[in-house]
Chains A and B, each alone.
Chain A
Amino acid sequence: MQFTNFPLAPPSASNFSQEYDVLFYTLTGLTVFFTLVVSVAVIFFAIRYRQGTKADRSRPMYENLFLELTWTIVPLVLGLVMFYFGTSLYVKMRTPPRNSTEIFVIGKQWMWHVQHGNGVRENNTLHVPVGQPVKLTMISQDVLHAFYIPAFRVQEHVVPGRYTQLWFTATQAGEYHLFCNMYCGTQHSEMGGKVVAMPPKEFAEWLANGGQSVAPMSMEQAGAKLFNKVGCNNCHGAEDTLRAPSLNGIFGKRRVFADGTSLIADEEYMRSSILRPYDHITAGYGQTMPVYEGQLTEEDVLNLVAYMKVMGTSSPNPPTSNINRHSGPSAVSGSNEATSLAANAAQWNTADPDATPTRRVGSPAVGAVAAQGRNR
Chain B
Amino acid sequence: MSSTGKVTGELQHQPQTEEVNYLNNGHTIASWLLTGDHKRIAMLYLISTTFFFFLGSLAAGLVRFELTSPAGVVLESETYNKVFSSHGILMIFTFLVVAIPAIFGNFLIPLMIGARDLAFPRLNLASWYMFMTGGILILIGFIAGGVDTGWTFYTPYSSMYSNTQVSLVLVGVFIGGFSSITTGVNFVATIHKMRAPGMTWFRLPLFVWAMYATSLLLILGTPVVAITLLLVVFERLFKLPIFSPELGGDPVLFQHLFWFYSHPAVYIMILPAFGVISELIANFSRKRIFGYHFVAFSSIAIAGLGFLVWGHHMFVSSQSMYESVVFSLISFLVAVPSAIKIFNWTTTMYKGNVRLQSPMLFAIFFLLIFTVGGLTGLYLGCIGTDVHLTATYFVVAHFHYVMVGGTMLGFLGALHYWWPKMTGRLYSENIARATAYIVFVGFNLTFFPQFILGWMGMPRRYHYYYFAPEFQAYHIMSSLGASVLGLGFILPAFYLTMSLINGKKAGPNPWQAHGLEWETSSPPPTANFLETPIVMDEVYDFDPVSEHQQNMADLEKREASDNDGNMPIEDHD
Q: Which residues of A contact B372 (CB under 8 A)?
A: 31, 35
CB distance from B401 to the nearest CB of A (A): 11
Let me know if B353 and A87 touch, CB within 8 A.
Answer: no
Q: Which residues of B contact A324 (CB under 8 A)?
A: none
How many angstroms between the C-alpha atoms of A89 and B335 in the bound complex?
A: 21
Let me know if A61 and B350 touch, CB within 8 A.
Answer: yes
Let me know if A50 and B567 touch, CB within 8 A.
Answer: yes
Let me know if B367 and A38 touch, CB within 8 A.
Answer: yes
B431 at the interface (CB under 8 A from A): no
* Chain B, Cβ-Cβ closest to A154: B387
How many angstroms between the C-alpha atoms of A256 and B289 in the bound complex?
A: 103
How many angstroms between the C-alpha atoms of A55 and B335 in the bound complex?
A: 34
Interface band, chain B? 35 or more
- Return the contact of B339 from the options A39, A52, A75, A88 (Cβ within 8 A): A75
A8 at the interface (CB under 8 A from B): yes
Let me know if B569 and A51 touch, CB within 8 A.
Answer: yes
Interface band, chain A? 35 or more
Let me know if B349 and A45 touch, CB within 8 A.
Answer: yes
Return the CB mask of B237-248 against A: 1 if under 8 Å, else 0.
Answer: 000000011100
Q: Which residues of B contact A157 (CB under 8 A)?
A: 316-318
Main secondary structure of the interface of A (DSSP, over half): mixed
A72 at the interface (CB under 8 A from B): yes
Let me know if A45 and B346 touch, CB within 8 A.
Answer: yes
Q: Kindly identify, within residues 50 to 107 of chain A, every residue whose CB is under 8 Å from any CB belonging to chain B.
A: 50-64, 67-68, 71-72, 75-76, 79-80, 82-83, 85-91, 93-94
- Return the contact of B567 from the options A7, A52, A57, A146 (Cβ within 8 A): A52
Return the CB mask of B338-351 against A: 1 if under 8 Å, else 0.
Answer: 01101110110111
Return the CB mask of B356-368 against A: 1 if under 8 Å, else 0.
Answer: 1000000010011
B17 at the interface (CB under 8 A from A): no
- Which segment, of B153-161, B497-505, B529-537, faces chain A? B153-161
CB distance from B154 to the nearest CB of A (A): 6
Given contacts A51-B355, A75-B339, A179-B457, contact A87 B568 (CB under 8 A): no
- Which segment, of A160-168, A223-231, A238-246, A295-303, faces chain B? A160-168
- Return the contact of B379 from the options A27, A41, A46, A186 (Cβ within 8 A): A27
What are the 4 closest A-B residue pairs judged by CB atoms, nearest first? A150-B457, A161-B245, A89-B384, A86-B382
Residues of B within 8 A of A (CB): 77-78, 81, 148-150, 152, 154, 156-157, 160-162, 244-246, 250-252, 285-288, 290-294, 315-318, 321, 324-325, 328-329, 332-333, 335-336, 339-340, 342-344, 346-347, 349-356, 364, 367-368, 371-372, 375-376, 378-379, 382-388, 390-392, 452, 455-457, 459-465, 467-470, 473-474, 544-545, 548, 551-552, 554-555, 567-569
Given contacts A45-B352, A52-B568, A59-B351, 6 further A-B contacts (CB under 8 A): A38-B343, A52-B555, A62-B290, A90-B383, A143-B161, A164-B318
A-B contact list, 10 entries, CB within 8 Å: A24-B379, A24-B385, A49-B351, A51-B551, A63-B291, A67-B347, A71-B339, A94-B321, A154-B387, A181-B459
